[in-house]
Amino acid sequence: MRDVREALMIARNSEGKLVRRPLSPHIQVYRWPISMALSILHRASGVALGVGTLLLTWWLVAAVSSDDVFEQAQWFMGSPIGLLLLFGWSVALIFHFFSGIRHLVWDAGIGFDAPTYSTSGWGVLIATGVCTVLVWVVGLMTW
């Protein structure tokens, strides 16, 4: 037993025998309320945006190189794979943006009660959907 927390998981039963305390069920047995889903999505989108910074870095490095290299980068962004990556990046960014604002409001001590965080959670999802569609409609119109 390396970790002292292990000691807390062991106790004596009514007969004085050492037993392992029962564990409460792990997360897979619970229904996923929106609070739980958005919590992990916030983290996942943050990690995805970290990967997305590679795309930004590549684009900026292409812009500093030559006309040809930049044209290649722009061509890639407009290719099916590029558009898919850009779409994923935009969804992650817009979601993380609204979800992050929700976190900042919580940090101010507002909106912690169950009905409010459920409502604000759905609000984040709706805002993400609406803004992503708007960005792409305007973006593809002006491409």
CA 1, CA 28: separation in Å to the nearest integer? 27
φ and ψ at 127, to 5 degrees? -60, -40
Which of 5/31 has CB closer to another protein? 5
- Does position 130 interact with another protein (CB under 8 A)? The reply is no
Q: Which is nearer to another protein, 47 or 84 (CB)?
A: 47
C-beta of residue 132 within 8 angstroms of C-beta of residue 90 = yes
Tokens of 75: 């061509």
List 36, 37, 61, 84, residue binding another protein (CB under 8 A): 61
When asked if residue 84 is in the footprint of another protein (CB under 8 A), the reply is no
Pattern 4-43, another protein, x by CB under 8 A: xxxxx-x-------xxx----------------------x
First to last CA, the chain: 61
